[in-house]
Structure 1
Amino acid sequence: MELLLLVLGALAVATLARREDWPAPLVLTAVGIGVSFIPGVPEFRLDPELVLPLVLAPLLYSASLNSSYLDIRANIRPIGLLAVGLVLATTAAVGLVAYWVVPGLGLAPALVLGAVVAPPDAVAAVAIGRRLGLPRRAMTLLTGESLGNDATALTAFKVAVAAAIGATSFSWSDGLLTFLEAAIGGVVVGLLLAVAVHAIRLRIGDGVLESALGLLVPFAAYLIAEEVHASGVLAVVVAGLYLGHNSPAAGFSTRLQETAVWRSVDVLLESLVFALIGLQVRTVFADASPDWDMVGASVVVLLSAVLVRFVWVFPSAYVPRALSRRVREREQAPGWRQVLVIGWAGMRGVVSLAAAAAIPLEMPGRDVVVLLAFVVTVGTLLVQGLTLPALIRGLGVRDTGEQQRLLAQAQAQNEAARASLSRLDEITADGSVPEHMVRRLRSLAEHRGNAAWERLGRQDQESPAAAYRRARKEMLTAERAAFVAARDRGEIDDETLRVVQRELDLEEAVLSRE
């Protein structure tokens, strides 16, 4: 019952935030912190054995499905610098700072802290950036970073924990080998599983069963990879990227169902996770019982986690261009405003808290490390998350490529319309299709081909295509009301209503998507 109330409460807060156009992750965290101090509220703790496979895996898989493999491949160098280089640099920098400022904290436990807080969670940043129209390349970098940094951080975490608990056979060379084995193994497992699932789905021919199989992929990828000591997170990401890139080969019903299902799963899990982040604050502070010296050290660690990102992103954005002519020719120089926004978009999230909860009880300084991890996570979520929209607006960082993308879409739609009309001529050459139906089919193809051109040329007024969609939606609403009235009068049954309603819904979905 407590879990049910938690989920319902989180969804209620998320609904209010989405309706008011507030960043839902930040609102959920703030509300969770407030609720945690209400007397009688039960303690909630993240169980890493459940959070990583049951929460993180589906969230990463859903993000991977909706990511662009082509964009990520085109930006693999800067994404790699963020997802791998920055994570390792943050692990080292935050670990050293914590070692220096926290009394009695050893170097190995401090590095565990560094690995715990190293991976930013891009959920809040991407949501804010999408709402405010961040440039496409910035969104690609943030999304690509979020897909790869978790695997790097969790692998570094395992290595640091082995050193902290004094594993007898541990050495740093073994740690590096473990890191490489986990990364390569995760890629291989994810790719093999995705290829097999894609081949099976192409032969099923049933959208419901194909979607059901897709729901199992993130959990299977994570568990199989972890079973063979590979990176479960990386396996999930690779599987999602492969299946998302090859989704055009699947059936239309599979794509429609998967889109709806994963959007619902995302909202549910994200709401639950960010509410849990806030609800655990009171428990963590009670366990650690911090004094004023610890409060000061926590602030220093938080600042170091924020600053190391700036120290890394600016040189990584410009130094490769200065050293390589090939990079200068292939990539456009990013503006300093865009780099500044990426540097400030370093909010931590569920991975940091799940890793903190997974620290072995026998590790020296565990309570202190968990406390510092929560300070960094909640601090970055609230401070950076609340100020990121104002920073984006103040710097005027906007997507200037919408016109070019609309032009490319118009050209592609025009070519698709010509292919469609050519095929129509072929299949109607024998006269088997009535002439009035041919004219209607031709009109539909021409309408879709001209829609993007009309949007391109009529930015400040309603285009004919937009007027058509508006009028057709009104007609569909009237049709739906008539069918419902017929059902209520007993003229048709519910099964008939569901059949016709699905046809109307599919057409309205097409109109809304356009």
Structure 2
Amino acid sequence: MDSALLVVIVVSLAIAALSRRYQFASPLVLVLCGLGVCWIPGLPTPELDPDVVLFVILPPLLYSAAQDSSYVALRKNMRAVGLLAVALPLVSAVVVGFVAYWSLPQLPLAAALVLGAVVAPPDAVSATAIGRRLGLPRRMTTLLGGESLLNDATALTAYRLALGAAVGATTTAWGGIVLFAEAAIGGVLVGLVAGVVIAKVRQWLTDPPMETALGIVIPFATYFVAEELHASGVIAVVVVGLYLGQRSAREGYATRLQDTAVWRSIDVMLESFVFLLIGLQLPEVLDGLKGRSVGVIIWSGVAVLATVIIVRILWMFPATYLPRLLSRRIRDREPAPTPGSVFVIAWSGMRGVVSLAAAFAIPLTTDDNMPFPARDEIIFLTFVVVVGTLLIQGTTLPLLIRVLGVHSDERRTDLLALAAAQDRAGRAAGKRLEEMAEEIPDNDAMHEQVQILQRWIRSRKNLAWEELGRGEEELGESPTVAFGRMRTELLQVQREVFINERDAGRIDDEVLRGVLRQLDLAEGLSDRSGRKRD
């Protein structure tokens, strides 16, 4: 690995750790730090390699996001997700392309449409992170997450078509539609086949470490195969992630625990690296503009950035309310969104590293060996859009959410559903326990274990109902919470004893690791806050 890349990874993780520790938006802090340190003399700054972004960084981030997504929720909101992830990027690409063509005289229309496709897809990583932290309604986070999963495929396919026209390849409108359909359908098929095969292999392995290791390879292999077959690698990765994520509930607990920990760590590392890398590209971007008119460049940058933001806002309100006016079925099936929630989604259009990677991937020459028209200007305008949306929209989004009062009121509904489900699960478990108890001979010591399990079932049922009542600040600590706290303290005491036994040489490290795993799993059952961690 290049030493500069290693430095960027280490520094990005350090900055992200500090940002998360003090509750700052780490993507914004990382971009600002990158912009600040890129001018330090002698500091090695790695170049943004498009292949690294598109083949190494994008697939695992998409796969992880797809696994965390809800297929049921996406299917339920497919119409709205489609308007955001398919229609909006295409509209943005065309409008931004014509604005760039008008504001930058040396930019041909075909090259301007390349720019439009490059800046079309928002990167919803920071938006969804902010939304979850501030408690946005689940449907809004579903829409933003679904958009981020699919809009890259739309924009990158449009980018291929526009790039083909700009370099001299013959591309008709009908040919573009066919190419788009082939890429989308091919991506779905590759993703489904990969998902079915991998699910069978993982089921056959029944080896959690190997299953997790295989899971790390899945997004890269799926993306590569799809691209080699001229299908959409993005769609293929999203489909395989959704398929395996839906099936993960039926896998072994050890695999789920390992997968969750591994993918959260991978996400943090890649996202931190990406946002710091964005800020570090400024010197290289400016080097390509030497000799250009500063006034024209600044004017075109402002025009394109404003267009990217305004088009999304102007699209959101008609796309949200017009279908409701025209279709009674939509009105009956979908809750009416407030203008504030629509504007929050419209303001969550920050662009990211995929746009920069696509811009840097533009070839140096056309098919007739002429320099690609205004390539440096396209890269600069892309940089302005990416950094501008991150700083303007990213920094104001939390305040906007608070001012507009957009928050989730789903907690009590969720708790009611959970309590009811927990009650049914408790009754089923209790019935099965009674059947097992009937098989135990009288006066057998196992009856004591049955009583312990009965108390455990009751505590699980009570926990969900207790959270529906008044809070602990009013009623004090509930019995179930008190039991969990005391149980955790007892586990900590036991853990300390085992560690001291190892230090004294009375047990081996291998024995200690086995015991600690059992104690850690037991403590996890008592840690109610674990559900709320990132």
1:395 matched to 2:404: yes
1:459 matched to 2:453: no
Whole-Å separation in 2 of the counterparts to 1:463 and 1:175: 63
1:171 matched to 2:172: yes
2:4–2:45 contact (8 Å) kept in structure 1:
no
Q: Secondary structure at the match of 2:468?
A: helix
TM-score by length of 1: 0.98
Tell me what 1:31 maps to: 33
What amino acid is aligned across from residue 97 of structure 2 in structure 1?
Answer: G
1:502 matched to 2:511: no
What amino acid is aligned across from residue 37 of structure 1 in structure 2?
Answer: W
Q: Choose from 320, 323, 327 the match for 1:320.
A: 323
Give CA-to-partner distance per residue, 1:234-268, whole Å, 9 cap, x none.
00000000100111221111111100000000001
Q: Choose from 419, 424, 430 the match for 1:415.
A: 424
Tell me what 1:125 maps to: 127
Aligned length: 513
1:413–1:449 contact (8 Å) kept in structure 2:
yes
Q: By how many angstroms is 1:104 displaced?
A: 1.2
2:5–2:46 contact (8 Å) kept in structure 1:
no
1:185–1:230 contact (8 Å) kept in structure 2:
yes
Tell me what 1:431 maps to: 440
Whole-Å separation in 2 of the counterparts to 1:464 and 1:397: 34
Tell me what 1:209 maps to: 210
Q: Choose from 127, 136, 139 the match for 2:138.
A: 136
The verdict on how the C-alpha distance between 1:335 and 1:460 changes in structure 2, with shifts beyond 3 A counting, is: farther
Give CA-to-partner distance per residue, 1:119-164, whole Å, 9 cap, x none.
0001100111111111111111000000000110111000010011
1:454–1:464 contact (8 Å) kept in structure 2:
no
Tell me what 1:257 maps to: 258
What amino acid is aligned across from residue 170 of structure 1 in structure 2?
Answer: T
What amino acid is aligned across from residue 450 of structure 1 in structure 2?
Answer: N
1:165–1:364 contact (8 Å) kept in structure 2:
no
Q: By how many angstroms is 1:42 displaced?
A: 2.2
Tell me what 2:43 maps to: 41
Q: Secondary structure at the match of 2:45?
A: coil
Tell me what 2:238 maps to: 237
Whole-Å separation in 2 of the counterparts to 1:163 and 1:185: 23
Whole-Å separation in 2 of the counterparts to 1:148 and 1:232: 11
What amino acid is aligned across from residue 382 of structure 1 in structure 2?
Answer: L
Counterparts of 1:64-213 in structure 2, within 5 Å, are 64-167=66-169, 169-213=170-214
Give CA-to-partner distance per residue, 1:1-53, whole Å, 9 cap, x none.
22221111000000000000111111001000101111112232221212112
Tell me what 2:452 maps to: 440
The runs of at least 4 aligned residues of structure 1 exceeding 3 Å deviation read: none
Q: By how many angstroms is 1:466 displaced?
A: 1.9
What amino acid is aligned across from residue 329 of structure 1 in structure 2?
Answer: D
What amino acid is aligned across from residue 430 of structure 1 in structure 2?
Answer: E
What amino acid is aligned across from residue 439 of structure 1 in structure 2?
Answer: Q
Moved more, 188-197 or 421-430: 421-430
What amino acid is aligned across from residue 182 of structure 2 in structure 1?
Answer: E
Whole-Å separation in 2 of the counterparts to 1:22 and 1:72: 29
Whole-Å separation in 1 of the counterparts to 2:180 and 2:47: 28
Counterparts of 1:474-489 in structure 2, within 5 Å, are 474-489=489-504
Whole-Å separation in 2 of the counterparts to 1:97 and 1:87: 15
Calculate percent identity across the aligned residue pairs.
53
Q: By how many angstroms is 1:460 displaced?
A: 4.2
Alignment RMSD? 1.1
Give CA-to-partner distance per residue, 1:441-486, whole Å, 9 cap, x none.
1111111121110111132443222222222222221111111111
1:380 matched to 2:389: yes
Counterparts of 1:239-318 in structure 2, within 5 Å, are 239-289=240-290, 290=292, 291-318=294-321
Q: Secondary structure at the match of 1:72?
A: helix
| Consecutive unaligned residues in structure 2, runs of 5 or more | 366-371
TM-score by length of 2: 0.94
